[in-house]
Chains A and B, each alone.
Chain A
Amino acid sequence: MASSAKKLPSVDVVLVGFGWTAAILGQELTDAGLNVLALERGGWRDTSTDFAVTFAQDELRYYYRQALFEEMARETLTFRNDPGQTALPMRHLGSFLPATGVGGASIHWNGQNWRFLPSDFVAKTHNTQRYGALPEGMTIQDWGVTYDELEPHYDKFEYLCGISGKAGNIKGQIQPGGNPFEGARAREYPNPPLDMVYAPTLFEAAARETGHKPFPCPAANMSRPYTNPLGVQLGPCTYCGFCEKFGCGNYSKSSAQTTIHPVLLRKKNFELRTECNVLKVLKDSDGKRATGVVYIDAQGNELEQPAEMVILCGFAHHNPHLMMLSDIGKRYDPQTGEGVIGKNYAYQIVSGVDLFFDDKIMNPFVGAGALGVGIDEYNGDNFDHTGLGFIGGGYLACWQTNGRPIEYHPVPKDTPKWGGKWKAAVAKNYLTSASISTHGAMMSHRNNYLDLDPTYRNAYGQPLLRLTFDYTDNEHKMSDYLTERATDIAKAMKAREIHAKPRTGHYDIVPYQTTHNTGGAMMGADPKSSAVNRYLQSWDLHNLFVMGTSVYPQNPGYNPTGTVGALTYWAAEAIKTQYLKNPGPLVQA
């Protein structure tokens, strides 16, 4: 594929995007002696200059005016619920909040950092063995990598981040106070759990009373000062309640900036170019190798950057989008079920139960992104699904993430949306409310996929990505089940009023839910059913690797970041110990 762009001197590795996966790879591959270049479409961002404590806690600027997120004027996607509809462009972010800029979404996440269950990695095999044939249209797969293989890499990521938590299973020994359902881990979390606020302790007592085993949720918010194995330091969390949608001004939330950049950016064999938007991955004439990328800089110059290796580190759906635009791999066709690029897009299904008390003061403004108590009885296959009509599950948790003045207005059911009665209800309930959320898995389905939109184009004239997505019966049944279990515990918390809010109807892309978009370049055991192999290496171009949640074949009932970190370290190790010695396919097709 020839290009008319000006050709730049070659590098060993080009990283497309400079979020967290790119920072990890930058660190690991420069350690291996390679010259690494990262191309980031957004601008430079650092704690002291961009999220200083003097202005970081600004809801209007950061959330409502979306200062940290993807800019729809440059790139967006079109959306429809099913293949029979005409997709329309998303012109304002809603359901999910991808990032633009150095550090990517690691800047504005909450910090809820989980591992998936061992059975999650063999979801297809496990569920069919236990429950028989999958429902019609469900296209879940095994990952091609096991929990045990990833365990050291989960560990490495958790120690990089300084996760605050309590282990539930160390080398097979169940630990009191932790999550007894988790896969065996080699050692305790690097930091103890955060100090707990009142509402989660009420949940904890009620959960215990109803026969559950509650535990403090693992948090990338620091419970104490921490120096990670790279020597990078994080400060203790102040519980200011500005985590998700904000950068942390106190160096207290793990991000690429607070865990890796100080070391990586000092290295002579690392280079970062910001405001550089990659348009295409280039291939050699026989289509066996990537030869580099074409990008456009802030001045509008198109430049060709040759590289020995190309690693896609964009946000979930951007990686498959770039693969489609570069004609890499076979695109998914929902009619025939053939092809893999764009297949198995998944998300998350979330619901909640609100609780209103009279006499219990929660002080919601004391919060942190992952400050909460959870239970895991209803996640994955931790419970018998026989007769329930669905597979998968999710955790339940009582979080206290924030009491932000614009966003947080807990009011009972049937309160008017505005006016004096609304104000009175907010005043009455602001301090005395709590909620339990459910965080459900999303199984992949034949009709949930990504492809190129036939009509709409981005700022560079390229077809937008088209998202076709809806919840299926499996998700609704599962989410309803989780909501009922949450309601059981809510009742035991003895609130004045309980308001369950199940997720009903079609998926709606407008209200914020989670930024847990997955799939489209899934990993797996063979090239017929996956885009990348178990080492996240493209089946088609052996020097192309794909990071992030785009490789998930389906999305388990946990927040995805911990597994993103583990998979990145897993792939980095394979590149360092296998690929560099003998460049070529790491798995024979």
Chain B
Amino acid sequence: MRNILTVVLALAIVSLFSVLPAQAEDTSFAKVERGHHLVDAGDCVACHTDAKGKPFAGGRPIETPFGVIYSPNITPDRETGIGAWSDEDFYRAMHNGVRPNGARLYPAFPYPYFTKMTRDDVMAVRAYLKTLPAEKNARKQPDLTWPLNHRVFMRGWDMMFFKPGTFHPNADMSAEWNRGAYLVEGPGHCGACHTPKNELGADKNSEALHGGIVQNWFAPKIAGNMRDGTGAWSIDDVVAYLKTGRNKSSGAAGPMAEVVADSTSKLPDADLRAIATYIKDADGGPDKTPPPLAQDDKMMVAGQAIYADSCAACHQADGKGVPGMFPPLVHNANAQQRDPTTVVRVILQGARTVATGARPTPFAMPPFDWKLTDQQIAAVANYVRNSWGNAAPPVPPDKVKDLRDTLGKKLNDGS
């Protein structure tokens, strides 16, 4: 019944628009270019492109804690894409998380961020997407657990966790800070990975940018804390990282490699500086780290020996690495996250840094899963997290075992 009503309403809206005097659509170069830029900033291509598919034609499996969602086709194909959508349909999807038929979208599509975008910007995105070649690619149904497999459930979710509303600049802060805030909280949707989630997958807003688990990685804290955030990085360091995938302290790997390749490396320096200004100013909360493990702790002694054998060739005996190539571990924020998932995963599986035009060499760390036991990996992770002035909570061997099992299962599944 309600569906019929929606259709009637939608038809009414369509006819309302169609009786308006014909207006030249604004397809100016400047608008399309701005849209292109925002599409880059939002990294739309990453989720909306399958490994073997055409850009923006969707079909990529998006892993969530509640199951897998397949991204939709957002090319202008009228049957399987969004070519038949009105501009208003598009705006409602971006701003309200609602499909033209009234069904609720899942927040794997980050409308809780896109709602902050101005209507003008959303329309620029729309203008750019209209320039793409139409590709036929029908959408696959999501594979979610109960009750989330019922879209109607999302109505309740939205009521609890989602408030539509465009970004309001903070008059007390600089234009650069506000631009950064808009990009981070809006199109860039950085918190989608870097903000921890509650049991129902919604952002814990009080802990924005404090780091979160995503697809068996820990997306690190990017708020401004010195020890485990971006506080020790200069604005230029953040810009270099986002632009080239590399700075003196770190290299982008895992999901962030893709973000750099598809999104941040394409943004103008001014926007990257704005992002840096905003995240470095973001409040990461008090540093609640316990004192580091004692140097004579059994784990630390074993870890030191493993480090000398297996890590020092690249990261150097003193942990200072080779800046711009092999990340220094001394004061390394990523190594000191409260959650050790990324450190353990990188030791287990290795990591490959992103190659960009500016930094074409994809330095990689090899996997150690075949070489080191759970106990050994925990030991060397603890050593790295608690040496040279680093401090972070201990890593139990069970944590390594769990992650090894999970990642191994994924490999066997081919997923």
Contact = CB atoms under 8 A, between A and B. Distances in A.
B314 interface: yes
A527 B331 CA distance: 65
A52 B352 CA distance: 12
A46 B358 CA distance: 20
Nearest to A227: B324
Contacts of A240: 313
A262 B360 contact: yes
B127 interface: no
Contact of A250 (B313, B324, B355, B371): B313
Interface string A248-289: 011100000010001100100000000000000000000000
A152 interface: no
Given A235-B326, A250-B313, A48 B361 contact: no
Contacts of B359: 231, 233
B138 interface: no
Contacts of A53: 310, 313-314, 366
Interface string A36-60: 0000000000011100111100000
Contacts of A251: 325, 361, 363
B270 interface: no
A509 interface: no
B310 to A, nearest CB: 7
A250 B364 CA distance: 10
Query: Main SS of the interface on chain A?
Result: loop
Contacts of B367: 52, 54
The range of chain B's interface size is 20 to 34
A424 interface: no
A236 B360 CA distance: 18
Interface string B331-368: 00000000000000000001010010111111111111
Contacts of B322: 225, 235-236
| A48, A231, A236: most-surrounded residue (chain B CB, <10 A) | A48
Nearest to B366: A52
Given A48-B350, A54-B366, A225-B324, A266 B313 contact: no
A227 B323 CA distance: 12
A81 interface: no
Given A48-B352, A54-B367, A225-B322, A250 B362 contact: no
A263 B366 contact: no
Nearest to B364: A48
A513 to B, nearest CB: 30
A233 B364 contact: no
Contact of A231 (B325, B358, B362, B364): B358
Nearest to A257: B361
Contacts of B352: 48
Contacts of A55: 366
A134 interface: no
B314 A231 contact: no
B366 A233 contact: no
Contact of A233 (B310, B350, B361): B361
Given A48-B350, A238-B313, A225 B325 contact: yes
Nearest to A260: B360
A12 to B, nearest CB: 23
B328 to A, nearest CB: 12
A49 B366 CA distance: 7
Given A54-B310, A233-B359, A250-B314, A47 B325 contact: no
Contacts of A587: none
A238 B323 CA distance: 16
A161 to B, nearest CB: 14
| A54, A250, A262: most-surrounded residue (chain B CB, <10 A) | A54
A492 interface: no
Contact of B324 (A232, A233, A266): A233
B360 A266 contact: yes
Contact of A262 (B323, B350, B361, B365): B361
Contacts of B363: 48, 233, 235, 251
B33 to A, nearest CB: 23
A54 B368 contact: yes
Interface string B291-327: 0000000000000000000100110000000111110
A235 B371 contact: no
Interface string A218-229: 000000010100
Contacts of B360: 230-232, 262-263, 266
Contacts of B314: 53, 235, 250
A230 B360 CA distance: 9
B366 A48 contact: yes
Interface in B345-397: 350, 352, 355, 357-368, 371
B248 to A, nearest CB: 11
A319 B387 CA distance: 55
A49 B364 CA distance: 9
A235 B359 CA distance: 14
Nearest to B244: A231
A579 to B, nearest CB: 28
Nearest to B370: A54
B355 A262 contact: yes
Nearest to A57: B313
A54 B369 CA distance: 11
B312 to A, nearest CB: 8
A401 B313 CA distance: 17
| B325, B355, B364: most-surrounded residue (chain A CB, <10 A) | B325
A298 to B, nearest CB: 22
Contacts of B371: 54
A102 to B, nearest CB: 15
Interface of A: 47-49, 52-55, 225, 227, 230-233, 235-236, 238, 240, 249-251, 258, 262-263, 266
13 contacts: A47-B364, A48-B362, A48-B364, A53-B366, A54-B367, A225-B323, A231-B357, A232-B361, A233-B325, A233-B359, A233-B363, A235-B314, A249-B366
Given A231-B359, A235-B363, A262-B355, 7 more contacts: A48-B363, A48-B366, A52-B350, A233-B324, A249-B366, A250-B313, A258-B361
Give the 8 A-B residue pairs with the shortest CB-CB distance, closest first. A48-B364, A52-B366, A262-B360, A233-B361, A54-B366, A262-B361, A238-B313, A263-B360
